[in-house]
Amino acid sequence: MQFMLLFSRQGKLRLQKWYVPLSDKEKKKITRELVQTVLARKPKMCSFLEWRDLKVVYKRYASLYFCCAIENQDNELITLEIIHRYVELLDKYFGSVCELDIIFNFEKAYFILDEFLLGGEAQDTSKKNVLKAIEQADLLQECRREPPLTVCFLSAQLTTEKPL
Amino acid sequence: MPAPIRLRELIRTIRTARTQAEEREMIQKECAAIRSSFREEDNTYRCRNVAKLLYMHMLGYPAHFGQLECLKLIASQKFTDKRIGYLGAMLLLDERQDVHLLMTNCIKNDLNHSTQYVQGLALCTLGCMGSSEMCRDLAGEVEKLLKTSNSYLRKKAALCAVHVIRKVPELMEMFLPATKNLLSEKNHGVLHTSVVLLTEMCERSPDMLLHFRKLVPQLVRILKNLIMSGYSPEHDVSGISDPFLQVRILRLLRILGRSDDDSSEAMNDILAQVATNTETSKNVGNAILYETVLTIMDIKSESGLRVLAINILGRFLLNNDKNIRYVALTSLLKTVQTDHNAVQRHRSTIVDCLKDLDVSIKRRAMELSFALVNGNNIRGMMKELLYFLDSCDPEFKADCASGVFLAAEKYAPSKRWHIDTIMRVLTTAGSYVRDDSVPNLIQLITNSVEMHAYTVQRLYKALLDDISQQPLVQVSSWCIGEYGDLLVSGQCEEEEPIQVTEDEVLDVLEGLLVSNLSTPVTRGYSLTAIMKLSTRFSSVNRIKKVVSIYGSSIDVELQQRAVEYNALFKKYDHMRPALLERMPIMEKTASNGPTEIMQTNGETEPSVPDTKHLPLVTQPANQANDLLDLLGGNDVMPVIQTTLPTKPASAGGELLDLLGDLSLTGGPTVVPAPAPSVPVSQPPFLLDGLSSQPLFNDTSAAIPPMTAYSKNGLKIEFTFERANPNPNIAVITIHATNTTEADMTEFVFQAAVPKTFQLQLLSPSSNIVPALNQGSVTQVIRVLNPQKQQLRMRVKLTYTHKGSPVQDLAEVNNFPPQSWQ
């Protein structure tokens, strides 16, 4: 995969993950053009389109478009499954995910994506494993934040970690 | 200072903005606060501030001042900091900025961290955006982690290694030992990423491919287990066990089995099994089947398996899911050359797809339909394709029209059918037809001698209906000019002859001259057609009048023609009948039609260069004369001795030195042989050797192409052919390509040669050289070299690039000897 974009029906970007090195200007240009192209597609059209020299796979879930650019030798149908798996992960994590969850917790959406894909390829094909890893990492983040009340008196001086 | 506002609150606030300006104001305020916070080196809230910055960056606002802060976060000991820091690095930094190299040390430390999630963050970042320098520095750490027993890290290290190899292919060897036991893993994550790593290595290096071929049995076994094993909740997707892994293994098998009989044999069974047992009700199953079909078609599979694969694709074509249909059409397009008959069986389904609503499916179906046309199905297919041409979107019309012409040319059952088909295309999609089809059609018409009357009649009728489609008008006026006498005499056999008088015909042609719809090229055609009728019609006075009127036309082209035709009437009237007589049958020597038909600005003239025609030859020759003056009239060519042999002399010199080295060191040395010049010994001997044999057209392989000009992104390559009847004529095709980002428009190529040569430039394919090598402009040059002197050329290039005109002169001296000998 070369990149993945999530955007709303009005064309607002909600997440962008690039697996190829491009300048900011190029990224903006590509994003703008691709968003326009995908939004112009009618509902009856198929989920694949040729764009520049890449294949683009997109799917709409509620109000969000999930759009991936893959290379010529990649399998389009399995990419649809990858997108679906990511949505399932988000769904499990947030509990019935909706666009607002991704807007307000964009950094978590990124963390989940980075736990599922690395360099554009799937790291783990088990939903359970990916979610477990995220959970553990979150705990690592949490455990130093609010110490249990019983010891807050003692460790009040130690804690400097603030929530985002 | 009060604590900076929290991320979620900022998001909430920004979303309440009702206008773009309001949003910008909020953002600017917050950015200022963040900037001062950064300046104060606030450790506590740095994480929060960078997170906010990342949000604003996603909205499209600049965030470069946070780059260094990300690095500080990465260096921090807190996990939250690292998480946001690495995220920021991946979003804000890229390998074009030197700043990113500062990360290297942090990543190195984190790769050895005690907490696996920190190691994971480092691997992820490196595998996502690591530059070549970083990869070189850290490859060792990645390799170490690839051998760890911790599967969480091992799977990430494998994908990180893939990235390293992509960036620095030379490091591939380094990962080889670690791959030894990768496939014996039970963990699916590690298996999946290992297969990805192996795929990458095999794709990049034939040695690796050979090395890993022995893994085929193991891969087959893993795949078999996946299919045969019972339900495994962890990896199940709609009843299929780990489809992602299955697809990946199939892809690796494809690469390993390609062009290797033994491996292909070993995977035959499992492929058949997957193909028959996979559930097709959901997309997952079809994804696996798709990959299986790709693999079967690519390896050396037995014919039964291939038929199975094509049948799967045939079933896909009938699927309701348009994605599946799309994928089927794409695959069929790839296999239609090799398994033509099998694909033919699905022809009717493919033709139905022409009516699909989806643009991509329609395009694929059209390409496939053209590939399937043959002598047997031409009539039926053409009916469907012409119907498609009528109703399709404009973006398809040009390609469809060209396809129809090609197919008609190859398989036309009769000349009349052929001409009817062409007429149909011209009338329905006339304005989308490519420019080079006009001369092609004219040649076709000329060669169908018995159909002349029928053709000219039909074309005349078409003209009466509609004069807006330029290619149609051009072909029609040409035909009327040629065969007007047949038209007026009402000789048509094929259909009811129409009654038309000479005056009516001249009315129509004159109408074209004055109409606003006619382009200058079309006007040129009409004027010449009128002129030709002066030998075929009796109303010569009327024609004389028309021609003299246009002698003062503003259009230089028309004016020149009219003046010359006038001269023909006055001073050269005795030559007029001979000059304007009927065209001989044109020979097509190469399959690319237009190169052999002589054209000057779109008009056709007899193919044999004839001195009588020199006055009629228009601009390019005149320009060539101008350029000759530029050359300074210097036609003294010290024949061959001084210029060409300098190269072989030095080459010979190098050879001698290398030989000298050989004798001293005894080690192997590579002698680069500059191909065209090495065989030159003494020119006269070569000439003796070659002049007795006529060189044939398709020995373009014998004359190597050359790069004539390469500057400022414009590259012009010359390819060579010999004109069949006359070995003194070299046919050079120029290919102009453009590597810059902007198109080069109004591109004009001019050439001049020394006085002993004669040069003829035919029309270019277009005058826009598209950017980024997306296409090329071709143009044919015919050089007559009766004295067999060394070919030299001066070229003048003019074009408009990014709005400003560019002009350049260059000399081309590096012609290979075969092109002028």
Say what the pLDDT of residue B806 is: 87
Q: How high is the ipTM of this complex?
A: 0.90
Nearest-angstrom CA–CA distance, B492 and B456: 9
User: Chain B within 8 Å of A163 (Cβ-Cβ)?
Assistant: yes
Measured CA to CA, the distance from residue B431 to residue B398 in angstroms comes to 9
Express as a percent the part of chain A with pLDDT over 90. Answer: 74
Give the pLDDT band of residue A145 (cuts 50, 70, 90).
low
Contacts of B637 (CB under 8 A, 6+ apart): B754, B756, B789, B790, B792
Q: Which residues contact B428 (CB under 8 A, 6 or more apart)?
A: B386, B389, B390
Judging by beta carbons within 10 Å of its beta carbon (0-12, 13-18, 19+), is residue B357 exposed, middle or buried?
exposed
Q: Are B719 and B732 in contact (CB under 8 A)?
A: yes
The whole-number pLDDT of residue B143 equals 94
Burial of B393 (0-12, 13-18, 19+ CB in 10 A): exposed
- The pairs formed by B28-31 with CB atoms below 8 angstroms and a separation of 24 or more are B30/B5, B30/B56, B31/B56, B31/B61
Q: Which residues, in sequence order, are bridge partners of residue B784?
A: B729, B758
The residues in A 31-70 lying below 8 A from B, measured between CB atoms, are 42, 44-50
DSSP B761-774: E---S-S-B-STTS
Q: Give the whole-angstrom CA distance, residue B723 versus residue B590.
A: 10
Tokens of B730: 């070299």
Q: Residue A126 is encoded by which pair of tokens?
A: 């088990």
Q: Which chain B residues touch A119 with a CB distance below 8 Å?
A: 127-128, 159-160, 162-163
Determine contact, residues B44/B72, Cβ cutoff 8 Å. Answer: no
Q: Where are the alpha helices (DSSP H) in B448-552?
A: 452-465, 470-489, 502-514, 520-533, 540-549
**Encoding tokens for residue B245?**
């892994």
DSSP output for B325-393: HHHHHHHHHHHTTTSHHHHHTTHHHHHHGGG-S-HHHHHHHHHHHHHH--TTTHHHHHHHHHHHHHHS-
**Beta sheet of A48-51, edge-to-edge order:** A13-18, A3-8, A64-70, A54-61, A48-51
Lowest average pLDDT, out of A83-97, A133-147, B500-514, B674-688, goes to: B674-688
Q: Which residues contact B689 (CB under 8 A, 6 or more apart)?
A: none
Is A129 in contact with B189 (Cβ distance < 8 A)?
yes
Residues of A in contact with B192 (CB under 8 A): 122-125
* Chunked mean pLDDT (size 10), chain B, 821 residues: 85 93 94 92 90 94 91 92 94 81 91 94 94 93 93 95 95 91 90 96 93 93 89 87 95 92 91 91 93 92 89 90 92 85 87 85 90 88 89 86 87 85 85 81 82 85 84 88 84 77 86 86 89 85 86 87 87 82 69 38 38 38 41 37 35 37 36 37 37 39 77 86 69 86 86 83 85 85 80 87 86 80 65
Quick one: angle between helices A127-142 and B79-92, nearest 10? 120
Give the pLDDT band of residue A161 (cuts 50, 70, 90): low
SS3 letters for B192-247? Answer: HHHHHHHHHHHHHCHHHHHHHHHHHHHHHHHHHHHHHCCCCCCCEECCEECHHHHH
Query: Would you state the pLDDT for residue B723?
Result: 59
3-state class of A154 per DSSP? helix
Calculated CA dihedral for residues B109, B113, B119, B121, nearest 10 degrees: -70
Phi, psi of B525 (to 5 degrees): -55, -45
What pLDDT score was predicted for residue B224? Answer: 93
The count of other CB atoms within 10 Å of the CB of residue B727 is: 17
C-alpha span between B212 and B252 (Å, rounded): 10
pLDDT at res. B327: 93
Structure token digits, residue A46: 């198929």
In whole angstroms, what is the distance from residue B433 CA to residue B419 CA?
Answer: 15
What are the residues whose beta carbons fall under 8 Å from the beta carbon of B203, sequence distance 6 or more? Answer: B255
Give the Cα separation of B253 and B264 in Å (integer). Answer: 8
Q: Most A CBs within 10 Å: which of B100, B236, B244, B255, as the mutation test of the A interface?
A: B244
Length of chain B: 821
Q: Which of A28, A45, A50 shows the shortest C-beta gap to B358?
A: A45
Residues in B closer than 8 angstroms to A19, CB to CB, are: 128
Instruction: Tell me the chain B residues in contact with residue A7 when contact means C-beta distances shorter than 8 Å.
Output: none
Give the model's pLDDT for residue A144.
Answer: 56
Closest listed residue to residue B250, CA positions, set B228, B275, B277: B275
Helix/strand/coil percentages in chain B, nearest 5: 60, 10, 30
Distance from CA of A150 to the nearest CA of B (A): 23
Q: For A17-29, what is each residue's pLDDT tens digit?
A: 999 999 889 999 9
Neighbouring residues of B722: CB distance < 8 A, sequence distance ≥ 6: B694, B695, B696, B697, B699, B729, B730, B731
pLDDT for the residue numbered B1: 59
Query: What's residue B239's pLDDT?
Result: 86
- Check: CB of residue B449 under 8 Å from CB of residue B470: no
Average pLDDT, chain B: 81
pLDDT at position B520: 87
Chain A residues near residue B16 by CB distance under 8 angstroms? none
Cα–Cα distance for residue pair B515/B686, rounded to 1 Å: 58
Provide, as residue numbers in chain B, all residues whose Cβ is less than 8 Å from the Cβ of A145: 80
Distance CA B812, CA B40 (A): 65
Chosen for mutation from A126, A145, A157 (greatest number of chain B CBs closer than 10 Å) is A126
Contact between chains at B235 and A19 (C-beta distance less than 8 A): no
The structure's pTM equals 0.69
Instruction: Please give the helix or strand (H or E) that residue B718 lies within, else none.
Output: strand B714-722
Average model confidence (pLDDT) for chain A?
88
**For residue B697, what are the CA distances in angstroms to B482, B607, B608?**
30, 16, 17
Grouping H, G, I as helix, E, B as strand and the rest as coil, residue B667 is: coil
Q: What is the pLDDT of residue B302?
A: 87
Contact A55, B327 (CB under 8 A): no
Q: In terms of C-beta density within 10 A (0-12 exposed, 13-18 middle, 19 or more buried), how is residue B375 classed?
A: exposed
Residue A139 to residue A151: CA distance in whole angstroms = 18
Q: How far apart are CA A14 and CA A9, in angstroms?
A: 11
- Three-state SS for B483? helix
